[in-house]
Amino acid sequence: MSKRLKDRSAFVTGAGQGIGRGIADQLALNGACLTIAEINEATGTSSADELNEAGHQAQFVKVDIRSEDDIRAGIAAHLERFGGLDIVVNNAGQNQHFDASKMSVDEWERSMSLNLRGAWLCSKHTLPIMAAQSGGVIINIASVHATMSAYNFFPYNVAKSGILGLTRSLALDWGRHNIRAVAVSPGWVRTQPAIDFFEAADDPAAEEARVRSLHPLNRIGEPADIGALVAFLASDEASYITGTEIVIDGGITARHAD
């Protein structure tokens, strides 16, 4: 594989498992050094250990993206280890399902701090570093729910829509520093939340087959699919892509619900 991210370093949130881990793997395969910024010590440590054992350079730093202090310390640890910061992937997030008439203000604040504010805070503490270098790229993991959504996805879809607005603002206001910002919106991806969803059905295999059949490609995504896109977007091959959203969903949103 070409090392198109050789001499670059990346800070990936929520890279202990799922899509974040798929992104970390693909960035590493493309030559990047990595900080796994993860709240879960066990999965964060094993991600970094496995990458190092495979010959890559990775470190785990415990970061709760709801905490500005954690983010500041995590980015400082990244700079100390790797000397610069070229790629930030704001990936950590979680589906949330509330009744808009019953959700409390505290629940709203908690939800937004995870699914929207964290991406801004990681960007806030990265932009001056990237501006002082020759530039960089911030990749925000949104969702197909940012533009379409489904019943009972409040306020996850609100936060993910905000991620698109954040991406546009970062691209507009920081493009003159050669900083790009791109949103990636996955559809179904086989990670723990999707597996839990299938397993909650009476017939998990039938439910998974039903979901698969909604896709023109008759499959759901894998974390490596998202990782491969992120590695491309982080590379110089994508140097004219900024301020936009790339949907990666096996074609499910090309289809009308009927």
Ligand X SMILES: NC(=O)c1ccc[n+]([C@@H]2O[C@H](COP(=O)([O-])OP(=O)(O)OC[C@H]3O[C@@H](n4cnc5c(N)ncnc54)[C@H](O)[C@@H]3O)[C@@H](O)[C@H]2O)c1
User: Judged by CB, which is closer to ligand X: 103, or 248?
Assistant: 248
- Please pick, among 60, 120, 156, 174, the residue that the annotation labels catalytic: 156
> Rounded to the nearest 10 degrees, how much is the dihedral formed by the CA atoms of 198, 152, 248, 116?
-120
Residues 231 and 29: beta-carbon distance below 8 Å: yes
User: Judged by CB, which is closer to ligand X: 14, or 31?
Assistant: 14
Min. distance of Cβ 20 from ligand X in angstroms? 5
Min. distance of Cβ 236 from ligand X in angstroms? 25
Q: Which residue is nearest to ligand X (CB)?
A: 18
Q: Cα–Cα distances in Å, from 181 out to 132, 151, 216?
A: 17, 29, 29
The number of residues in the chain equals 258
Q: What is the DSSP string of 154-192?
A: TBHHHHHHHHHHHHHHHHHHHGGGTEEEEEEEE--B-SH
> Which residues in this chain contact ligand X in the complex, by CB under 6 A?
13-14, 16-20, 38-40, 43, 63-66, 91-94, 114, 141, 143, 186, 188-189, 191-194
- The question of whether 151 is a catalytic residue gets the answer no
- Alpha-carbon distance of 99 to 102, in angstroms, equals 5
User: Judged by CB, which is closer to ligand X: 10, or 92?
Assistant: 92
User: Judged by CB, which is closer to ligand X: 19, or 34?
Assistant: 19
Min. distance of Cβ 18 from ligand X in angstroms? 2
Min. distance of Cβ 142 from ligand X in angstroms? 7
Task: Give catalytic residue positions.
Answer: 156
